[in-house]
Every structure is written in C-alpha cells, then in structure tokens.
Amino acid sequence: MLPATPKGLVVEGLGKTWRQARRPVFADLAFELGRSGRLAILGRNGQGKSTLIKILGGVLPASTGRVDWGMTASWPIGFGGGFQGSLSGLDNIRFLARLYDRNFAELRDRVDAFAELGHQLTGPVKHYSSGMRARLAFGLSLAIEFDCYLIDELVAVGDARFQQKCQEELFAQRADRAFIMASHDVHLVAAHCRKALVIEGGKAKLFDDVHEAVEIYTWLRAA
C-alpha cells in the first residue's frame, strides 16, 4: 500500500466575525488541501472569499478555529497588490529580497524578465500606469517560489500576449504546486481547479467536483 500524501493545509472550525457585526462573515469552515491540490473559493460579493484568503495568508487573524500549514504559502497575490506605491520598482524588489533572504540581483532579473519594465523600474510605482503596475505586481508575486499560491481575483489586463504569459507562468510552469484561488471567473476556475469551496450566508460547502460547484455558484449569482 502506498503511503498517504502528506497534507499541505488543514483548516478546522475556522470563523471570522467583525467587531460589532451581528453575524459572522463565515463560521466553522473545515477543509484540507494536498501538496499539489488546486482549490477554488466561490461566493457572491460580500460572502468572505477575500477575507478567507487573507486569513490563510496570515494577513488577517481568524476569530475561531485553526490553520495548519505543512507547506510554504505565498502572500495573497493578484494584479492589484504586492508592492508599495511610494517606492520605486527596484526598491520594492530590494525589500522583497531582504524579507525573504534572496539575492537582490537575481530577484531583480527575474522580476524584470517578466514585467519588461526596463528603466521604468527606477520610478515610483504610484506613477505607473495600471498595466505597468499589473506587470510589476505579478512579477513580484512569482519572484519567490512557494509550495502553495494564494490567489485573490486575478483579472484580465494587458494584451493577449501578456495574459498568455501570466497563465503560462502561474498554471503551467508551476503545475506541480498547490493553489487556492478566489475568483468570479468560472471559466478560469473550471480550467485550473479540481475542487471548490462555495461560501454562502456564512456557511461553506466543499465540492469534490469543481464543475458541480460552478453550477451551484452560477445559480446563486442568478438568484
């Protein structure tokens, strides 16, 4: 008999309630993820998808329950975050290199190879166009290798070549990695995830069939 695959993530009894809120955002969430698992988080606006991703990434504390990681996890990534706007692109890369104890020159080359910003990396990020910020944010997100990537609503920006490059880097080049992805894009979810957690009204249900979860979610959105 083959040994059981080590669990990469175990979540038990997880709940989040904001102060002075009448009811929790969600309560008693429980699920597991293998070291190569791909899980979608589906739910209408305000149901707690991004909150859950932030709790898993250590950005927000949970009100109840526990999150046990058996593998390295990224910060919540997406086109809208991953950098400090008042700093230059190079300074953001330098900060990341210090934070994760990586060689700055190697990290800079990796980010620039993806973002293709060249000398514009010397300017403050807050002056970048939305497309430039997206390219830098995604380049920074992929500059450090993790066992599991936490993805919060990737949106389609840039031209078709850049979008294809993003898909290739995240889903093909890292096909052996785990993913937890919160998204409204059911086509992206169906193409790249194997299971799905649907959050609705503070409750969550895990579906082993991602296509069944997409059908339920689509029905909820139309209701």
In the chain the domains, ranked by start, together with CATH numbers, are 1-74+149-154+178-223 (3.40.50.300)
Q: Check: CB of residue 139 under 8 Å from CB of residue 93.
A: no
The tens digit of pLDDT for each residue in 160-212 reads 777 788 888 888 889 899 999 998 889 989 999 999 999 998 888 999 999 99
Q: What is the largest CA-CA distance in the chain?
A: 58
What residues pair up with 26 in beta bridges, in sequence order? 16
DSSP H/E element including 141: helix 130-143
Residue-wise pLDDT for 43-86, tens only, equals 998 899 989 999 999 889 999 999 999 999 988 876 555 567 78
* Planar angle of CA 159, 165, 169, nearest 5 degrees: 150
- Confirm whether pTM is higher than 0.75: yes
